[in-house]
Structure 1
């Protein structure tokens, strides 16, 4: 058989392997390209494409790709041009050596965009467990632990791994020690694809392990590393899918935006000379598209500039303000289908092109009527034959008639799907529609948003709390944004979206036609301010006749005594009216009733200074005022601090919101001017440090539900970022009963403490029990806490112990996390008498903890002050080093101590080799510098160094060695010196 015939036969066989005998594909893509030759070897992907692209970025490369430079460097080209050249060369090679069907390669190059292959259901730890089985390594070995704990650097004895946080890189380190193939494997790209299809279709660990064994037998470690990246869909090769699609075909990105289908892009656009017609560049029914996205806006103060970007005209200066919903972006397709129950067929896709028709429904009636479709039969006007809607799927709680957080959406949808009745209570999915992109066979994306909205209103009637048109406000000035933002802050909403009603719909774009506006505290805000109320403003409507908002101030000098001119004196800082409940108003009224005085602008109270010029400080004048000594302390949230002449401080809080009444605080405990300015400086410094991280987070377009970073706190310090999800298993198996907020060393609410415990694997209960393992936490002596103390059945722990455990675990990166033993003074709020002595053993005589690092300067100062002024005991070097060893600080990791305790005897060479004598002299210096001792006699030696190649003579007694000493080669000493630590002796030992 001729070579060309053999190649054709291999190509046909591979085509069947990848696509099977699928008549439906031939019918759907009658002109799809056929490769006349077999696909390229899998290793060509990283040799000719991935590695060269990573080289061109000049950034840190994964270990597997770091071994050699790519062959396609071009110093006279920009990095972007160099990357384009690399991709163009690979595609040209494919066309020449394989054919025009580039789909097998494309789905491996940008696997995150491949919607044809199902998710594997494999994350890092699952892959690690499979690789441990495949390579047959002990699950308790260092290598096994390094893969399982791939995020932890430096936790193992043999040095610090450079692949911490890079799972594929960590796998490469392990696999490269035990490869079945040292050269590149023989699997083709087609074979890899068909095997990955099998992997995606099985959920059995046994079958998954069998498939990985097949890869392990036929791939070298570098190939396996890239395979793992493909499975995890975490390529990061230095080129975006936009660049790759554009190089493949000028219309590839356009077709992908309207179809989200790589197969269609590769099979319909295989010839760069054939371009899409105008009718082929628009979205189509029942075909998922890439939606338009709102641009980020991280400077709330630039509302005027934001409005200017919305392109107002003299004839039409309007823009639209919509509430930003906390849900999942969803597109709804509906088309007539005579065979469908109810006559209509539905499709639902998320922004990531995930098909949700199984959940929300395919038909009005029958088995495939889901959590939404069976309730919206009367949603559309009778003339609607087909339609595509763009909107947000949210969770609505019917009991409180309010939106619920995104995390409840899927649970609510599953519950509603299983519930066959139209319940008027509980949580349900609600589709809020804000755009119509297709109506009765007409594409609407070329039309303005204003026209599309009119089409939406004409086609959709809506069903209450099932499918509704999302409302908007037509505005004409940037000054209208802030009041709306205040409203959504008060309602705990996510923010606003500003839209240009004159704009067309642009697929898969973020531009200034849609801009999201979020209060800065959504991403930067942490704790709050405790301020004294000095004024009240009467409300209107249902709040008429009572104070609806309050003026808060800062104490000028909280240490001033009665009779002093500064006693009780306050400067106005902000006005707050949002966040109060009926109960809050009632509590405030009850505590201040009869103590308010009408504000007389002709004779203003001397102890309360308002904003404005010195001769007329009347800005934000309250209707009534109250003396601080008669008043209350309130805790308020804020987005940020900004300059303002409306308040005496010259500053104010942006978007302040009431959080809680601090009935536990006296007026003298409220913030003073000096304390506030110190907090402001700390907040600004921390904000600047985190601004870069925040911008990177936005540029990567991550989910908005990130951990909240602190801005200002009610105390003298900043607090740690609030936990937003699982961080560790530090408290796994422990149950906590948290009774109060934390007061010291920083203030934290009970909810924040519970979130920290949950984020680190702990369980929370809301009442005490007889459980012996229950950890009771309190920092205030409330009635319920005193009651528990009288029972004398439980120790009560201060909340600071929780934070100390977390900080210690974060500080000991690489070590297995452990719980700190309780310290009597720092950690114990109430200690049972029987356990007093045992807990005192956890600290030394000066109160310094044996197991916990000192946290700050104040703690160090307190420990030093409790120590004796003079120490009678002299410092003993050997005893100190021994103590370090006892505390787990291995001296072998310090270069000048790594041979400490060793007595080394150098055996003579039989041949009196001059090279041996030189090496022995150099090694002698290594031993001495690193804390060891070189001895001249065999007696008492711990190690005997034998000349290389004379181990046989040593074992026969021809070389002078010590009986019990360990025999090593010169290579062991040289390797230890090179690595900077004592390495395993087994590879160099013959004794």
Structure 2
């Protein structure tokens, strides 16, 4: 391997007369990989940094030499190398779209390896214990052993060329059309780089170098102020360019409008330690909402929004006061003196009907442009800090002085932009009381901030602390779940099963036998934290002989995964050989990756329940009860301080029901205790309402049902008439899979309530139909939902036509055959079905030389379409008739010449011929008086009257114009 390692100390000799070149275009990629190889093998952080510093210094020397005659405003910098040293920080080019398995398949294809060859198996299944090697810590080192026999000893590409290929891969990995470009660029990299170079290239693509130097260390080697500047602007290229000269010193953090930066963060803490953390100084407490961090930049009428990681979402929220899901509603809230500002806050989802804030557990994307229409939530920014006002940077101003400035910056608008409410506090008990209030209100937690804290971007060491129930032992509900699958680890966990797929038992309808062992389990969550490496090794030893390889073609009968195997384990475990894990998490959230339709947010293992048999794990019914009890939140207890401000043993007792709601507002059942019944329309009918339309909440629907004599339940049963839903969420999907209940659109119930009368279901009212109801529908409706007996309406007919949209188009000749078979003499409406007619309506409208002001053929073309004709916009070879007006036959000669040249001839006829045929056919047919009247009305522009007879018709000239 030593032969493949390039010497990174080889001299960097500038080419003569190359003032326009960049350093990256002259330095081989092998130089950089040799540097990384040496850093990886060097022990000690300081020694590693020393090796890196030697490379950076040589780069600067080379840069100074080749640009000695250039001006100061040059773009060339250390950035091409830095983006490869810190690939995870390169925001604009990290979406390579290639992970280990994809990279393995591409290498197999590019190297032309047999799919069942040992090398292909090594690439695809490197995590498997049988393929584990002591010197393989990740996929890249695994690929090195496969590539070293197939690659050149030293690569020929420069750093610039490698970056160019990576950029091309990132730009083309999304589209199918770009896959060929991706393969072509990968082929060039594979054939032009050595195995060692490819090992580091793969790690760059995977965004994890594993060289033993942190981001802070790498940036500090380049420049002492590099990390501070990067925290401000999140722009690695700008950092390398502005700090190109090591003598240049960073000044006060240059926060500027429309330049993203990483905001200040908070440390974890517990209420019993706040006084000590605050050094017995007063502090502020504010509610911590469950939203997405956002930095709002304003300058004049222009706005920009940046996330915590520097991603811009201006396109969604709006760049000016005339667009976006938020800006157009808050543009007028700023005070007149605010020309430019930067606000720090949280982007929340505000439900317009329930007037409540949503949580991440509800899995709506507040950045989506149609989030309001789909979910009922609208963006609302909760502002808790101001960092810049009219060019003045406020980061070094104390928080207690920034808050009055913030209060004077804008006027809050309910549901659109609000200010965080700060409460002054000074003791541990104040903090404990605030946390308990947040638990009672089902909030995420609280933030505690030192009153004289200054704002330090991208740091947690600035006097801000976040306190959540899950950070404190004994406050969270714990779940006992069964291990059913496992995933192989990588790196220091290589060769071990490091993550576990956990499941809950499917509840049996018969609960009389408590010792009855479950036979079916639903996948529920994946957990991979909470235990030490020693515990993990012991646990692997305990389960080693029971693991079985998972084959999605023959999955175990006791385990059901989500459709499409969205979370498929590498191994599976028989239930009776498994054990129960006690897991703690922040909340239960909806997810389609697991069979339960939900999973845990931030799960971690608390302990292995060796005292509990496998069949006593949590059941689907217990999981559902827990979700309904708490709305998904798992904070089950209140925090209590002991004497002397030491934390007492946390008691797992529920808060009084009168104080603490059991569900978030939008999921609570309506209080119908005081509802007066006004009708018996729904007497004896039981409904389960899941959700309602935007105009009517679940609670309002329930109250109106009770007013009409109906019954309301929160879980459907055998006595439930139907389930009502407006949108299909995970819970509704689970009911659909059970196929036990009719699920009816909320729109139908609204019609019943508005009419105060019973309305039968129709197929268009249904989200899901049981077999029994389908049999009833089959008697009254056709396959497209059209009733055999009821009068239709425009809306119903439109729905039926939409259901028929997938029917193959019937050709005109087929329709003509059907008409001839079933209506040979009765109907004139297919008279011209087989005709393809070209209308010669070229009479100039408004021309004084023209004997008529408008061409009657313009109206006539609509009439003949009514009788089945197909109109051609051009005189194409398939035209069977050309229709001219008797007042303008100037083009007939040209048409005849064209006709003689064609194999398929066409007829040239006038409007008289057309009218004669129609009236003759109508008079001859058995059409009703109503039909005749309709046809005569349609042809009112012609010279014939409604009294024309069949004898009159045959007297009309029906010959062609020759």
TM-score under structure 1 length normalisation: 0.47
TM-score, length of structure 2 as denominator length:
0.48
Larger CA Rg, structure 1 vs 2:
2
